[in-house]
Structure 1
């Protein structure tokens, strides 16, 4: 396994007089046997602190957060879309939020362009779950599938949850727009989506791992090449601070908080025991790192080699 850090620079706009150069895009890479995993930025979210912290014990939260360099005000977690390149496949795990969720996100197309890829180059799209920052980027400006040449895959339990007409009435007022937005996109994709269940090998060397709780059918993915492996965890481990330091605490971002905490603990324990690298959608520095034990808890270590 080889870890590298690369910055992709776009140059096409330099040829256009009077226009500023487009920004450089950083991507964290990991070689895994004959495959390569690359994380591409879709930008970042801006979330009220209570979205995560509201259900946590307030008197204990402050001392835990003091160990982390979190700015005051809104939380701004990054959004790391994972690209798996293996043979003739370009596989995206999640597709970002597109242009209609938050102004700070929806930058995946620029990141792909900087990496020398177009939407037509993507062969497979695999979803961890149906939240806006993972699903809403699947359509273009004309409400057609953006990745027109790709297969689309989602866990059966997750699809059924967002497809259920009762979800919009039971998810809570604050998340009702998430449910309607997910349903609209899934209706457009209906008939072209492949479903899978826990433990299935959905692509060569890619196995689905049920990590329910953040959403009802959230999936992670173990990418294995020979004796080397990495885990794409999506939002099953949703941040680099309390999710590691107090994984047993409920998070306001999780649909089924108790189940999500149990899932998080089991996943952290496995990753620490096996020293398997992970890629987290909202983890810092590109989201590629590993888990270390820290007493009776854990800590996140970014791999920036």
Structure 2
């Protein structure tokens, strides 16, 4: 059985009647050149060295957010499952350590349909892992990945993820509720468009009174380069220019409003705050 420590990458956080906890799905293993294809070593290495992540390949963490609110047990994203990378797919063990069975989950809310966020939604038999849950996804994200022509137009490097997304969307179709930017999909949970990483990427503002937390997904995908130089393009973003614009706007808002955040690929469980640092920003773990 997984240890209790394996369940959480960070401390629990209360927002009104919402209990928030991050669960580790493991980590990815990605070449620096994939994440930062436009930057020279002279540009990149000082930032990575300052943050102690200069190794190549890089190993970004995977933080799935668990929210408990009354009789609701909500997951924001579903992890990678067993078929993506060997270092990932640990969400089932983390759920067990947190005292949650897949049958307990009432809602699964997707930020977007990349493999490390979506592929964990099916079990080893290709049945929905969270069989009792209602699943939510943004209409624009759904339209893009559910379109059969996407696999032929997205580019060879992304064709496998397009095929994987479509297959899972087809299996889940009857369990999925679609929503649009600005909608309150659950009490205190509002969708916030952060397009660019994918065509319909959504973040989620969790609010109770004057308290709030932003579940970022991959709108801000790392705690180093994208904080110090949010204008730099990131290779994992499908529309890098749009993603950079969304990132700069979001960081400015989060720092100004002192909103707490949960980032899918941010360190120490992803819970923290954004602060200004010179012309850029820094991530402060809680």
SS at match of 1:293: strand
Cross-structure match for 1:294: 277
Q: How big is each residue's C-alpha offset from its partner over 1:247-305, in whole Å with a ceiling of 9 and x where there is no partner?
A: 001110100000000000000000000000000000000000000100111011111xx
Cross-structure match for 1:4: none
Cross-structure match for 1:25: 6
SS at match of 1:216: coil
* Correspondences of 1:272-287 after superposition (within 5 Å): 272-287=255-270
Cross-structure match for 2:92: 109
* 5+ residue gaps, structure 1: 1-12, 14-20
Cross-structure match for 1:149: 132
Whose Rg is larger?
1
Moved over 6 A (4+): none
Task: Give the TM-score normalised by structure 1.
Answer: 0.91
Q: How big is each residue's C-alpha offset from its partner over 1:43-101, in whole Å with a ceiling of 9 and x where there is no partner?
A: 00001111111123543222222311014221100000001111110000000010000
SS at match of 1:96: coil
2:169 to 152, 168, 186: 186
Shift of 1:226: 1.2
Q: How big is each residue's C-alpha offset from its partner over 1:213-248, in whole Å with a ceiling of 9 and x where there is no partner?
A: 000000000000111000000000000110100000
The separation in 1 between residues aligned to 2:3 and 2:181, in whole angstroms, is 41
Q: 2:7·2:95 contact (CA, 8 Å) conserved in 1?
A: no
Cross-structure match for 2:231: 248
Cross-structure match for 1:137: 120
Shift of 1:149: 0.6
Cross-structure match for 2:34: 51
1:206 to 170, 185, 189: 189
Tell me the matched-pair count.
284
Q: 2:25·2:88 contact (CA, 8 Å) conserved in 1?
A: yes
Q: Which moved more, 1:38-47 or 1:64-73?
A: 64-73
Q: Which moved more, 1:54-63 or 1:260-269?
A: 54-63
Task: Give the TM-score normalised by structure 2.
Answer: 0.97
Shift of 1:142: 1.1
- Cα distance change, pair 286–76 in 1 and its aligned pair in 2 (3 A): same
SS at match of 1:191: helix
> How big is the alpha-carbon RMSD for the aligned residues of Structure 1 and Structure 2?
1.2
Shift of 1:26: 4.6
Q: 1:56·1:251 contact (CA, 8 Å) conserved in 2?
A: no
The separation in 1 between residues aligned to 2:143 and 2:116, in whole angstroms, is 19
The separation in 1 between residues aligned to 2:47 and 2:129, in whole angstroms, is 41
* 5+ residue gaps, structure 2: none
SS at match of 2:75: strand
The separation in 1 between residues aligned to 2:117 and 2:167, in whole angstroms, is 14
2:63 to 76, 80, 92: 80
